[in-house]
Amino acid sequence: MPLESEASGVHEGDVIDGRYRVERVLGVGGMGVVVAAHHMQLDEKVALKFLVPEALGNAEAVARFAREAQAAVKIKSEHVARVIDVGTLESGAPFIVMEYLEGEDLAAWIAQRGVLPIEQAVEFLLQACVAVADAHALGIVHRDLKPANLFCVRRSDGQLSIKVLDFGISKMTDARKATSGSLTRTTSVMGSPLYMSPEQMRTPKDVGTQADIWALGVILFELLTGKHAFEAESVMDLAIKVANDPPPRIQTFRPDVPEALEAVILKCLQKDRRQRYANVAELAVDLLPFGPKRARGSVERISGIIQAAGLSSTALALPASGGTGGGVGSTEGVPAVGRTTGGTGGRKVAVVGGTVGVVVLLAAVGALMVLGKQAPTHGEVVPGAAPPLSSGAAAVPAPSASAARPADAAVAATPSPVAPPTAAALAPPDAATSARNRPPARGAATPAPPAASKPATSTPCKLVKTLDAYGEPHFTCPCATCS
């Protein structure tokens, strides 16, 4: 459709600055017009923004137009419409070249589709908060946040994404960076009254970042209910309501909105800006439980931006993974924002833990082996075991079993230290039998024959180990011969 020359000052087919061929009008506002154009050298579609002819004679409007380009080009964020270039027409009128966006703003979304699902509304607002955090980190206050300036596009991965538009009335919070006092005159009403904070309506010169937080609360209220938080028939009546009246209950219009989410919005809409969120990161952290799980990335980024800029004096603790669909209440740990967890540290802990486990296991096995092979104490006899044979030492004959019984009673009554095990006690039965049949070593005394009352048996007895009340081991033989 042909462009209207009185609205834009350009026509379809016009070539601007020798590079941009005008194609069609995208939108017309009170102060500017945006057209689609084709970058002939790069073969790329772009958007050109001009001031309407009536605004060219307004020095303040021209200064604001230049301020928009300066502010937007400083903010490096995927959620801010990117400024590519600026230029001037032959008439002297300035223009801005921006990335071309396909989609619709959230004001049109609400008008055409109605209110948004809770998770989607929260996710859209968090994406806008990323752009606002980047702006605040640079000392830029937007001052005109509203659904019409939040443009929804579809990314290459199919997900919807919000781009913040129109930094035309933005303000630098650092007075040294302000280029003109006329941009902040107290007689100017800058912004959209439906989204303006009480202090912005009173004195636009003194607004700070809390004015944007107020606007974000009003936007979320509208995305969830389709209503404005404050409505009146005139700007004067609206200013009185904003300054004095509380906003209506969200659940009056949308009963499924959780009270905790309504509390977040009400904190944004506190009349005293000192009672609002101190920064946009605090707002994002409180919104996280109501957004989808993927919104956590936006919250972490917002927190990182605000902390890196020194706008938060305390570390922000993120709750467990958000999402009303099952992430709320999770106990998963959250690393501190701005820190990374090392993977090699985990492997070192695992290796050390495994080594300690092996050492403990070996110690336990060794203790069991020692306890299992303790020798009888205080004259206790192991029937069938041969005395130890060593070179140069006399063999000691085994005492009779009858002499051992009083000692057994004494051991049971009085605990005593454990004697070291003999070689025969540690040897298996076959080894003990061969030890008895082995000839004595040279120079060793001949062992005494076994007692007559205990005839030798061809098969050694199997001992049974028991522990007394003090944990001392005792060995007994259950056979009739030894009993």
**Token digits of residue 68:** 């928009």
Q: Residues 6 or more apart from 274 whose CB is under 8 A from it?
A: none
Residues 128 and 220: their CA atoms lie apart, in Å, by 11
Please pick, among 105, 134, 144, 212, the residue that the annotation labels catalytic: 144
Place of tokens 């004259």: 379
203: phi then psi, degrees, rounded to nearest 5: -140, 90
**Separation of first and last alpha carbons in the chain:** 118
> Using CA atoms, how far apart are residues 230 and 183, in angstroms rounded to an integer?
27
Q: Where are the beta strands (DSSP E) in 103-187?
A: 103-105, 140-141, 150-154, 160-164, 171-172
Residue 144 annotated among the catalytic residues of the structure: yes
Q: Give yes or no for a contact between 263 and 275, defined as CB atoms under 8 angstroms apart.
A: no
Q: Of 51, 40, 36, whose CA–CA distance to 17 is shortest?
A: 40
Report the catalytic residues: 144
